Structure formats: structure tokens, C-alpha cells
Chain A
Amino acid sequence: MAENATAQERLFALRAQIARLEGKSLPALAAAEQAQAAENPECEKAKIKQLRLPFGIDPLDVALEGGLPLDGITEVRTRLMGDAGAASGFTFALVSHLKGREVSGGPVLWIGDAVSRQETGAPYAPGLRQFGLKPHEVLYASPRKLDEALWLAETALASRALSATILEIRGNLKNFGLTESRRLNLRTKAAGRPLFLLRHAGEEEASSASFRFLAEPAPASGRRLPDGTMLGGSIGHPVFRLTLEKSRNPAPLSFLLEWNPHDRQFSLNSKAGEFLSLRTPPAHSGTGLPASADRQDRTPALGHIVAFERAS
């Protein structure tokens, strides 16, 4: 009897450890929470609200298990430097959305990269204001080296004084690998403040980010006229083509997301006809290998292994 109890104890401890590693709540605690939630739904909602940043779009929030984590890293990457507008737009939209929900006070820290600043410009305060972020709410840091940027990010998270930190980097850097990302992730967990990693022109790489989006530009929605119709040829609210590359959900999601800066709200752009779809198939039909979905990295496209001649 006693042996049985000890075994149970060990089993429970192991389960708890695995749950902690995976960032989930304990199975027993989760069951208790569910029971509580059934009794008092408001309380449960409030709890999720504290830890997660929902988009307010049901299919997306389900895929994200309630929203972006407020105590973790969210990565936004682009394939090309030229897509920096979409990626920074989406990141600032996320931060603005976060500020709009008043989850936590304090300014936002932008840790910029010197080369990206020359390539695609520096964040512009009047533009940010139209995006929903007031000028005095954003601090700009301009570190000279990556070490300094990482130190800044870590200190910012540890201080808990900033409601969000955005770290802008360029490409896949040797000095910013899994170790550094794990270290930052631990900081975010301890501080309960989010870190948004904006990676320009970068490949997918293993990191501690809870979610990774691939941001690509998409045609903006038109300006809405008072009678509800769209003004043809106008450039209205920005739209981003996003692919959720890394998440617990095995199937990568691709969708068009529209940001409304006035209401600080996201909405799915249904006009383009693309609602929620799988990612685009690889460019070369020769890739017959099955996509390994539940990995941190997927099989590279065939073109990476065999150099095809350019068709045109």
C-alpha cells in the first residue's frame, strides 16, 4: 500500500515536471480550474485575460490557445528586408492592441538595429501615433552591438517597468541562438512581460519563442465610406499576410489580418477571399517529402538541396 502511494507520488511529480517544461498547468490543477470555471465563468475569463493577449478573433484565438502569451516571446519574421513595413506594422499593432487593453502600464521599449534603421528607416512618432501608440509611451534604444541589445532586453524585462519590449534584429545571428533566446524566455516568464522579437530577413530557426509569425505584405483594405461601401483605389487600414509557423497547433495557419488603428482592433480580412488556409505549397513540385509539421524546423524545400536552373 505504502509502495503504491510512493509510486503515485513519483508519477505525480514527473507529470508536474513535464507540465512545467511544456508550460502548461498541472493536470490536477487544470481539472480543479475547469471545475471552478464551470461554476464561475467570469473568473476564468479574467485569468486568461491576465496571461494572454487574445486577438478577438475566435478561430485565431483557438489556434493560439487563448492568445499571445504575455509572459513569453513572440517572434515575427520576414523573408526579405523589403517586407519590414508589414512586420513592423504587425508588431506595433500587437503592442498597440496590448496597450489598448490596459493589461499593464508603463511605456514600450523599442530596441532598434542600426543597419535595419538605415535600410528601412526608424520608427516615426507621428506615424506611431496614428497607429495607436502615443509618442511618450515609446522609448527608443539604439545599442551599438548585439550584446548590448540583448543586455538591454534582459534588463528591460527584469525591471518589469515596461509593458512590452520589442527587439529588432536582422537575419539569423550566430550570437543570438537557442541559449540566448531561452535566457530571454526565462526572463519573460519571471517578469510576466512580453517580448516581441522582430527578425528582418531571417530564416526559421529553433528558438524559445512560443509563437512565430511570418509576416508578408498584403493589399490594404479600402477606405470605408459613411454608407458602408469601400472607396475604390484608396489605401485604408493596413492588412498583413501572416503565417503562424510555430505553435502547438501542428498545421501552419495562413491568414490575412487587418488592423484598425482607430479602434485598436484586429479583424480577418475576408474580402480577399482567403479565410484560413494552409500555407502555400513549395515552389518546386519535386518536393515529395512529407512536411514534418510537429517539429521546430521543417524539411527544406528541394531547391535548397538541388540547385535548379532558373526557368526564365
Chain B
Amino acid sequence: MRLTALDEVSERFGLRRGQGLAEARAMFPAIDVVDEDEAADQALLEAIADWCDRYTPLVALDRPDGLFLDITGCAHLFGGEEVLLKDILGRLFQMGFDAKGAISSSPGLSWAVCRFGRGGVIPHDNIEEVLAPLPVNALRLDMAAVSSLHKLGLKRIGDLLSMPRAPLARRFGTGLLQRLDQALGLNEEAISPRRPVAALSVERKLADPIQAEEHILQLTGQVAASLKPGLEARGVGGRVFELVLFRVDGRVFRVLVRASQPLRDPKRISSLFSERLAAVHDDLDAGFGFELLRLNVIEHELFKASQGDFTGDGEGDASFADFVDKVSARFGASCLQIAELRQSHLPERAEDFAPAMAARVVGENVEEAFAFVPKADRPLRLFRYPEPIEAFAATVPDGPPQRFRWRRIVHRVVRAEGPERISPEWWLDGKDTEERDYFRLESEAGRRFWIFREGRYKSGKAAPIWRIHGILA
């Protein structure tokens, strides 16, 4: 077992990372050892990355203990790079993290300065000066390359900078030169952000943290209103919105809502969130309040603007979409469904359900042309799984029963229509599946049932199973 991390005191005693646990115990018997929990470390890093979203949408993880922030175009919002870095480090310090940070023109340089230098903001013009005194480990090389560089006496980056490139490439491969170029900013290096960048995003910083749900909603409405010009300028409306709430203590909550149609109207956007917040009410722990609120447009679509008329007839569609959105935001998209007909003779496969959100045009008749129209009557209510019944005195070979027992009640059949034979779909069910003979029955009491016989009566074989599949009006 080896030490993977140390606190300040043990570092002062002279313990090192990578040292054996037995050796460390021998030196200082009183040390406390805690097992490493990689998952927890990872979760903590992710949480910090979430929190860093307040500075820039482009946050990438640098496992196991670093973060890359692409602050291109963001620094001025916080009053310059110096102030930004001070702000981040100050806030992290307040939360109890001992973090170091550097801002430079390339990720490689920042990494090097952060871990092996003093950190801070590196000006563009003296990159080489800053880089030269740093050890070669600062180039993010693997251990083998570092040790072979050390053997040759190349201990600092400055030693490499003064050497001709071709022999270096031949001796150590192109990897070393690539890392060197990345640190120098000659070779563009892309970081991979954790989350997709929102197409549009507006935020509101609060001097006084808010806790109440109605305040959040009110603010969401205001923020959504400032989103409108951006959407209008692009001629789009948002389909998926994300509300990001930054709590005072650094926790970040994300609330996602979807709309069935592209939306611009601030009122409707905030009403979606009001339904969603009502649904996630218990999960949203306001604690000491939220200090920053951001509204992102994750997905957007072309907005079909329609001109309203004086009679207000055009509002029907809008209010229907509004209703679907509200319900879906509150109970999830699967709560509200619409049936689509399928081309199948088997009753249970003749219909299929889709969320009403996904079915874009509810009023339009798209499927009708392709749907299979059964000639015989179909039941009004269909059981999801056909229930077995006991059929008595059925006419052999293919007649309806005289009586049948379903859920312990015996029904006497007065009238019967059938059989309607439906062959199995062998391409889906296999060749052994039995065909079904459907009957419509009417009992003495006037109840009408839809039952079927699975297979046929054959001599020397067990009697086929009868099942009830639906109820007719």
C-alpha cells in the first residue's frame, strides 16, 4: 500500500506521495491513514466542475485532481483575468479547498505553471521565460520519458528549448515535441468540455440569495424575458430549457424542461418551470439560498411565427401545446400518450403509444393511410395480457363455448359471432405459435366479450387454451 495523497502537516514532516505505507508508519507511527475512495474523489471533482460553470460553460475535467476552464471571452465579465482568478481561488479557499490556478494562452502552459510554478496570470510575451526554469515533469510526459531525459541531464524545460528539434524527435519520439509545442502555445490543444454548450444563455447574479420557489419563478420569468431578443434575432424558439441554480455553498441544481413546440414567450417558459419545480419540489433543497440563476437554451428549432387575429381562433393550438407541455413537465412525458395504428392483424400489435410530446401534430391525420383497418368489430377495451378462461361445451372443432368462467363468474353465452381467425406473425413469434380464433360473445346479462381460442382441438392432444382479450361496448 502506498500513500496517494497527503495533508499539509504530513507534507511538512517530509512524507512523499508514492511512499510505502509501512515506511511512513515506521517514520511516524501516529499518522492517520484513510483508504482512498476514487469514486468519492471523482464526485467531488465533478461537483467543483459544476460549480465552475458559473465562470464559463466550457469546463473540462483533468483527472484526477484538476480542471481546465476555457475562459475565452468570459474574463471581462468578471473584471479581467487577474480578478477572475482571484475570485475563483478565493471562493474555493472559502469552501475549504487548497487550490492553485493559472491563466495563460494554452492549457499546457497553465497546467505546468499551476503544478510546478507559482501560478497566476501569464502574459503572452514571456512564455519561454516562464517555462524555462520549470522541470521537465511539467510537460505532462510519461515516467519513462522523464527518467530518460533526466539521465541525459535534461532536467529543465529550458534545456530542451535550446536544443535542435530533429535529434530530440528522433531520440524521444514526436510526443515530447508535441507536449513542448502545446506548452508554448504553438500547437493548438482543445479541451473537452463536460457539457454541451448552450445555444443561448442568460443569467442573473443576486446580491441577496433567494430561497422561495415563487422568487425563483419570478426571476426565471424576468430572465426568460431577456432571452427573447436573442431567440428572435435567430428566428428560433427553444425546445429544451435548462435552469441552473447555484446555491451559496457551491451546490448546483439543474432543472430541465421540454416543450412540444418551439417557445419564446417568457410567461410560458416560466410556467413550464413552475410545473417542473412543483414536481421536483422535495429534491430541490434551497439551503441558505441561491446566489446565481442561469437559463440555458439547450435545443432550439425554427420558430413558425403566426399572426394572431382579432377573433382569437388561433389560440386553440397554442393552448393545446401549452397543456401538453404543462402535463409533461409535471408528470413526465410518458404520462400523456397518443395512440398510433400499426399494420398488424394481431390486436395487441395494431396500436402503439407514443408520448404526446413526440407526436408533433396531434390533429393531423398521418397514419390513417397506412393503417390496417380490420373488417370485423374490435373491442372497446383491450386487456394488456389476455386472461385465461375456462370454456365449457365449446362446439368442436371451431365453435364458440356455451358457457365460460372468467374470474370465478360463469357467463352463459346467448349469442356468438365468429370465428375470426388471426394467424400468428411467424416472422416475429416463430413457427410454433398457434393461430387464434376470435369470437364475440354476448352473455345473458347483455355483457359482450371478445375471447379467442389459441390453437385447435386435435385428437390425441390437450385441449386448446381459451382466453379473454377484450370487452365490447
Contacts and interface: CB of A to CB of B under 8 A. Distances in A.
| A and B associate in one complex | yes
A122 interface: yes
Contacts of B350: 125-126
Nearest to B376: A130
Given A123-B381, A130-B378, A136-B364, A159 B323 contact: yes
Interface stretch (B211-219, B296-304, B441-449): B441-449
B367 interface: yes
A88 B380 contact: yes
A85 B472 contact: yes
B347 interface: yes
A127 B381 contact: yes
B335 interface: yes
Select the residue from A90, A138, A159, A160 with max chain B CB neighbours within 10 A.
Answer: A159
B316 interface: yes
B379 A160 contact: no
B353 interface: yes
Interface in B319-370: 319-320, 322-323, 326-327, 330-331, 335-341, 347, 350-351, 353, 356, 359, 362-368
Given A121-B384, A217-B445, A105 B316 contact: yes
Contact of A127 (B363, B371, B379, B445): B379
B234 interface: no
B381 to A, nearest CB: 4
A209 B367 CA distance: 37
Contact of A233 (B356, B415, B445): B415
A172 interface: no
Interface in A100-159: 105-107, 117-118, 120-131, 134-144, 148, 151-152, 155-156, 159
Contact of B323 (A86, A155, A234, A239): A155
B382 A82 contact: no
Contacts of A83: 447
B335 A142 contact: yes
Interface residues of B, number: 56
B239 interface: no
B470 interface: yes
B172 interface: no
B381 A125 contact: no
Interface string A85-97: 1101110110000
A218 interface: yes
B255 interface: no
Given A88-B473, A126-B341, A159-B323, A107 B362 contact: yes
A282 interface: no
A150 to B, nearest CB: 13
Contacts of A238: 448, 472-473
Given A127-B381, A130-B378, A238-B448, A139 B362 contact: yes
B362 A241 contact: no
A136 B322 contact: no
Given A135-B339, A139-B338, A234-B415, A92 B380 contact: yes
Contacts of B364: 136
A235 B440 contact: yes
B471 interface: yes
9 contacts: A85-B381, A85-B473, A89-B473, A121-B384, A125-B351, A134-B365, A135-B341, A135-B371, A220-B442
* Closest 3 pairs (CB-CB, A-B): A89-B473, A161-B320, A217-B446
Interface of B: 316-317, 319-320, 322-323, 326-327, 330-331, 335-341, 347, 350-351, 353, 356, 359, 362-368, 371, 373-374, 377-384, 409, 414-417, 440, 442, 445-448, 470-473
Interface of A: 82-86, 88-90, 92-93, 105-107, 117-118, 120-131, 134-144, 148, 151-152, 155-156, 159-162, 216-220, 233-235, 238-241, 259
Given A107-B363, A122-B382, 5 more contacts: A86-B447, A127-B380, A139-B336, A240-B473, A259-B473
